[in-house]
Chain A
Amino acid sequence: MPKKQFKRGIKHAKWFKALTAGLWQDHPTFCMVLGICSMLAITNRLDNAIAMGVGVTFCTAFSSLFVALFRNTIPSRVRMLAYMVIIATFVICVDRFLKAYFPPISEAMGPYVGLIITNCILMGRAEAYAIKNGPILSFLDGLGCGVGYSFMLVLMAIVRETIGFGTLLGHRVMPTAWTNWVVMTIAPGAFFLLGVYLWIFRTIAKKTET
């Protein structure tokens, strides 16, 4: 009995809602259709997708935290610029980190690391949540959205890499007779796959547009 009560307590706690909203309820990709560019462009290999997911999660969580910390001092007229500067700072950290420790991944991702700055998810979370809420809640919200987004990235990358290259994280998983579907590694395959995923998830979540 106490266990049940505890569970219900967690479910209604504010921090729990903040953390899990981005995972399913307000999932950044299939509910709000944000951050599509990097999602489609770098998911042809799983290792790139994981690096991107970790980078985006780090940037969303910390930029939300800092936007929330400064929310009372940012004048509302220049708030967009303020978000941009905060976000860019963290993206530079991610870029330098990848360059130093994972040079091949940094090479493969090219300008897409820098383009995390214009990933709409970061800006969206700052504007929709962090500017109105406290730092800890904002941090959790950013973390939740980042993890939800990474989950989608990995899901895309698993399908694209297995079908497109016949490998997973560089290891061969498909039988040798398998012919690679080159189309999955390039832009059209990415578009089709995301279209299908959107279809599946929106049908399950019953969120449809007219």
Chain B
Amino acid sequence: MNPTNPLILLVASIFTHNIALVYILGMCPFIVISKNFKTAFGMGVAVVFVVTLTAVITWPIYWLILVPAKAEIISYLIFICVIAATVQFLEMVIEKFFPPLQSSFGIFLPLITVNCIVLAVCLFMVLRKYDFIQTVFYSFGTSVGWSLAIIVMAAIKEKLILVGDIPKGLRGAGITMIIAGLMAFAFMGFAGMITLQ
């Protein structure tokens, strides 16, 4: 098992090892949904919820069922099914019991199924052999880190409307990439605080 302290893991996954800006994952929604602050925030909250929940569910499935059964080969298949099922389930629960939430974050749930970071968290958790407590902290930290990045990006892009003279070909995705690069530089400032193996 991995000896890292869960609290260190939490800080590391938010800042020094930010999944969006260091591992470059979850980019499709990062580009498309970061157009305004409010939707980015809704998406961020939904992602925190789904990622933490799926990691908590997949950990016992992998270590208690798949590993003893020597069936690691189908782990991708199982992870994907668990993610899709969790998202579907969460969607139904929200629709049934919390209808006011439906409009603010229910609409983002189907999109999360194809968000790479949900699967990425499951894969990293297996690859680095985290125990259950570490998994909880790691998945929560990772999703908070991703949400932080998309919220900051949306805030910057809202201000970008004030800048009139961006070259035509660079508008939209192009300028988003450049801003993401600058943000990645900023997050590199945290590096060195903590090193993970």
| Partner-B contacts on A (CB < 8 A) | 30, 33-37, 40-41, 80-81, 84-85, 88-89, 91-92, 95-96, 110-111, 114-115, 117-120, 123, 186-192, 194-195, 198-203, 208-210
Contacts and interface: CB of A to CB of B under 8 A. Distances in A.
B167 A199 contact: yes
B170 interface: yes
A17 to B, nearest CB: 25
A192 B181 contact: yes
A115 B19 CA distance: 14
B127 A187 contact: no
A20 B170 CA distance: 25
A118 B184 contact: no
17 contacts: A30-B173, A33-B173, A36-B24, A37-B26, A80-B84, A80-B113, A111-B124, A115-B116, A117-B80, A118-B114, A118-B118, A123-B114, A186-B188, A198-B174, A208-B171, A209-B172, A210-B172
Contacts of A210: 171-172
A30 B174 CA distance: 9
B111 to A, nearest CB: 10
Interface string B1-44: 00000000000000000000111111110011000000000000
B170 A195 contact: yes
- Tell me the interface secondary structure of chain A in the complex: helix
Contact of A37 (B25, B168, B176): B25
B119 A191 contact: no
Contacts of B182: 188
Given A198-B170, A209-B172, A187 B24 contact: yes
B68 interface: no
Contacts of A40: 24, 27
Contacts of A34: 28
B73 A96 contact: yes
A35 B169 CA distance: 20
A82 to B, nearest CB: 10
A203 B169 contact: yes
B22 to A, nearest CB: 6
